[in-house]
Amino acid sequence: MWTWPTEVRTTRPDGTEITLRPLRRGDRAHWEALRERNVEWLRPWESTLPGGPEQVPVFPRLRRAYDRAAREGRLVPFVVDAGEGPVGQMHLFEIQWGSRWTASAGYWLDRAATGRGLATWALAMLIDHAFDEVGLHRVEVNVRPENVTSLAVARRLQLPEEGLRRGLIHVDGAWRDHITFAMTAEHPEAGALVAGLARRHTR
């Protein structure tokens, strides 16, 4: 049964504990500094509104909006915490029920936190949670072809690649092509990506 708020935890073979959790009131100063120092780092990859500049909500409003959407079953808005407070976000969005039971997974990390394998492990945790706890049937990951770092994350997890989708998402002021990776509940690794990573790292 899917509940919110909730947390997902795992410990990597190197002893690093990673937690996916909701934003907390006490995260405000840390979160605002994190977003401010990563504006240029994230600009080429974050979605934008076709009609013009998007107004970023202030932290209290953002946190309440996230929690409301999560309770309504429209969003799973986790932050990634490796023991030092949030270093990025790992979320399920565009959740569709009815005859679909599908969602897209999106993620970003502080530039200073990249290169440590956090995105790979956290995405594995999110997708496992999507199948095991949220109860989804399909999870997509859409990545710009130019984003070699995020492509490497999806391929490291051996997510099935479905091909290029033209003009899929408005990013950085224009409609951008994306490569789609997707996993369904019937896939042998669905719900077991973290376990697979752990096996590979302990061989």
Residue 2: pLDDT over 80: no
Any domain includes 2 = no
Any domain includes 35 = yes
Query: Where residue 128 sits, what CATH number does that domain have?
Result: 3.40.630.30
Any domain includes 152 = yes
* Overall number of domains in the chain: 1
Return the H-helix or E-strand segment holding 80: strand 76-81
Any domain includes 119 = yes
CA distance 123 to 155: 12
User: Strands 161-171 and 138-143, how do they pair?
Assistant: unpaired
Q: What is the pLDDT of residues 88-127, one digit of tens each?
A: 999 999 999 999 999 999 999 999 999 999 999 999 999 9
Q: What is the pLDDT of residues 117-154, one digit of tens each?
A: 999 999 999 999 999 999 999 999 999 999 999 999 99
CA distance 170 to 96: 20
Q: Which domain holds residue 14?
A: 8-202
Any domain includes 1 = no
Q: What's the token pair of residue 147?
A: 């984003």
Any domain includes 3 = no
